[in-house]
Every structure is written in C-alpha cells, then in structure tokens.
Amino acid sequence: MATLLAPMCRISANPEVLHAIREPDCNLAIWQRAPFAEFGPLVEGAPQDLRFTCDVTGLPALLAKELKQGGYGGSAALHSALVADAARLAELFCTAMDLARLELRLEVVRTDSCRKFHADYVTARLITTYVGDGTDWLDEDDAARVAAGEAPRQINRLRPFDIGLFKGKLATDRPAIHRSPPIAGTGAARLLLVLNPASKAIADGADSGLSQPPHLA
C-alpha cells in the first residue's frame, strides 16, 4: 500500500494564510480571492515583460512608470488598480518572508512557458494571474508520483486573482510542485505577476542566482 504524505498546503479566503509559509510543514499558501477588475485590455497589443527590483515604498511609482513605458493597454484607472494591488501583495510578501526588497516580474504569457511540473530554486515565490488560467499545482502524493515518473491523479489549479506563495528548493526538501497551465495553440494570453526575494534576483537569462532559465508559472 502506498504511503500517503501529509498535506503541506494551506488555503484560506484570509490573506493572513500567507504567513503559514513560515511553517516547516507548509510549502504552499493560497489566498483565495474574488476578481476585482477586468485586466484584459492590459495584454492587448504587444506589451513588454517588466522586471525590476525595489522596496515596497518605491514600487507604486516605478510600476506605474513601467506600465506606461512598456506599452500596456487599458485606462489610467486600470493601471492604477494593478499598481495598488501589486503594492499590497508586495507588502504582504515582504512581511511574510521578512524581506526589505523584492524582485517584481509582470509577464504576458502566450505559450506553455514552463509546461513541466517543477519546483523553483528560490526560498519562496508569490504568483498571481490577472488574466487567463492560473498556475497548476500538485498535492504531496501527486508530487511524489511525478517524481517517480508517473502521471498525477489530480492537477489542482489556482483561479484567476488567487495568490499562491510557493516555497522553493532553497527553503525545504519538499518544495511546492507546479507548472504553467497549457495554453499553446489556443490563442489565449495570461497576465502573470511574480514576486521573488531580491537577494535571488539577477540579470535576465538566469534564475535565482544560478545559470538556469527562469521557471514561470
């Protein structure tokens, strides 16, 4: 009989659930929340992916400038809504992880950017999807099946606007296993916000201090 692994995911409609990522037996904290804006216009055209390092205080002005210069569509009010939410998430992330600075990535994904299940080489990473399907993730038993070369029995998926705080390889030997939802060939686009600890952010073309391509989700 297969051994069932203890669940390491915490899910709540309360943002305080993100603090559970500090617990040794938690590798994924999910804050479930309702959509509050229609961000589809932001991905129209060919906006540039954004990536920068900052502190929480400096994030709003910097992100507002980058959205405008990066060719993101939509109204000024829509830009303001995204900036305000990113600033709130940055504050929650830095508080939960005890960080002074963070790296922000805002990406428009139109392919299967990271189609294989994986764990990130970070301490923890915050991910939310404003447009399109959310990130796929596995519970502990299905993560073990994938590691053994088997197919998962159930694939879980974050809803749009849900917040996932994924513990990575630098923090545990049982990191959160996840992937980008398959969308290649469908014409769909995803607007993805990723927050990383700034200490692990390095130049484009590498991820988390190692010479590896970045894992998107």
Share of the chain above pLDDT 70, in %: 87
pLDDT number for residue 199: 67
Q: Compute the distance between CA of residue 45 and CA of residue 113 in angstroms, rounded to an integer.
A: 19
With bands split at pLDDT 50, 70 and 90, how would you rate the model's confidence at 50? very high
With bands split at pLDDT 50, 70 and 90, how would you rate the model's confidence at 115? confident
Task: For residue 17, give the CATH number of its domain.
Answer: 2.60.120
Does residue 151 lie in a domain region? yes
Q: How far is CA 63 from CA 54, 72, 191, 193, in A?
A: 10, 11, 15, 12
Contact present, 17 and 30 (Cβ < 8 Å): yes
Average pLDDT on 76-84 reads: 98
* 168's tokens: 């990575």
Does residue 99 lie in a domain region? yes
Does residue 142 lie in a domain region? yes
Q: What is the pLDDT of residues 121-146, one digit of tens each?
A: 999 999 999 999 999 999 999 999 99
Average pLDDT on 60-66 reads: 98
Does residue 141 lie in a domain region? yes
Domain residue limits at 157: 9-199
Residue 2 has pLDDT above 50, yes or no: no
With bands split at pLDDT 50, 70 and 90, how would you rate the model's confidence at 215? low
Number of domains in the chain: 1
Q: How far is CA 132 from CA 66, 86, 178, 194, in A?
A: 22, 17, 16, 15
Does residue 205 lie in a domain region? no
Q: What is the pLDDT of residues 4-43, one digit of tens each?
A: 455 799 999 999 999 999 999 999 999 999 999 999 999 9
Does residue 216 lie in a domain region? no
Residue 120 has pLDDT above 60, yes or no: yes
- Identify which has the larger pLDDT, 202 or 26: 26
Does residue 137 lie in a domain region? yes
pLDDT number for residue 214: 47
Q: How far is CA 193 from CA 25, 86, 129, 130, 142, in A?
A: 26, 8, 6, 8, 26
